[in-house]
Structure 1
Amino acid sequence: MKVIYFDTETTGLDCRRCQIIELAMLTVIDGEIEERYDRFIRVDGPLPPRITDITGITDQMLEGGKTERDVAEDLKVRLTPGTVMIAHNCQFDLQFVYHLLKRHLPMEADEIVESLDWIDTVTVLKDRKEYPHRLENAVEHYGIEKVNFHRAIDDTKALYDVTQAMKDERDDLAEYLNVFGYNPKYGVEGRFPFIKYKPQRFNRCMVGPNDILPRK
Structure 2
Amino acid sequence: MFKIKVIYFDTETTGLNCFSCRVIELAMLVYEDGEIIEEYDHFIDIGEKLDSKITRLTGITDDMLDEEGIYEDVIADDLKKWLTPGTLMVAHNCQFDLSFIYNLLRRHFPGEADGIVKNVDWLDTLTVVKDRKEYPHKLIDAVEYYGIEKVNFHRAIDDTKALYNVTQALKNERNDLEEYLNIFGYNPKYGVNGVKFEFIDYKPQYYTKFMVPENKILPKK
TM range (shorter): over 0.9
Match of 2:206 among 196, 201, 209: 201
2:174 maps to 1:192: no
Please tell me the residue identity of whatever aligns with 1:180: F
Separation (CA, whole Å) in 2 of partners of 1:172 and 1:110: 28
Give the secondary-structure state (helix, strand or coil) at the position aligned to 2:45. coil
Please tell me the residue identity of whatever aligns with 1:25: M
Q: How many residues matched?
A: 216
Please tell me the residue identity of whatever aligns with 2:201: K
Match of 1:85 among 56, 73, 89: 89
User: Hey, what does 2:38 align to over in structure 1?
Assistant: 35
User: Hey, what does 1:18 align to over in structure 2?
Assistant: 21
Separation (CA, whole Å) in 1 of partners of 2:111 and 2:77: 13
Structure 2 stretches of 5 or more lacking a match? none
Give the secondary-structure state (helix, strand or coil) at the position aligned to 1:92. helix
Match of 1:148 among 133, 148, 152: 152
Structure 1 stretches of 5 or more lacking a match? none
Match of 1:49 among 48, 52, 55: 52
Give % identity.
67
User: Hey, what does 1:2 align to over in structure 2?
Assistant: 5
Matches within 5 A, 1:66-81: 66-81=70-85
Please tell me the residue identity of whatever aligns with 2:52: P
2:132 maps to 1:128: yes
C-alpha deviation, 1:44, in angstroms: 2.8
Separation (CA, whole Å) in 2 of partners of 1:187 and 1:154: 29
User: Hey, what does 1:180 align to over in structure 2?
Assistant: 184
Separation (CA, whole Å) in 2 of partners of 1:12 and 1:176: 27
Please tell me the residue identity of whatever aligns with 2:48: G
Q: Flag as ranges the 4+ runs of structure 1 deviating above 3 A.
A: none
Output one character per residue of 1:37-71: Cα deviation in whole Å (capped at 9) or x when no partner.
Answer: 00000013210000000000000000131111010
Separation (CA, whole Å) in 2 of partners of 1:42 and 1:80: 25
What CA RMSD, in Å, does the superposition of the two structures yield over aligned residues? 0.6
Give the secondary-structure state (helix, strand or coil) at the position aligned to 1:34. strand
Please tell me the residue identity of whatever aligns with 1:26: L
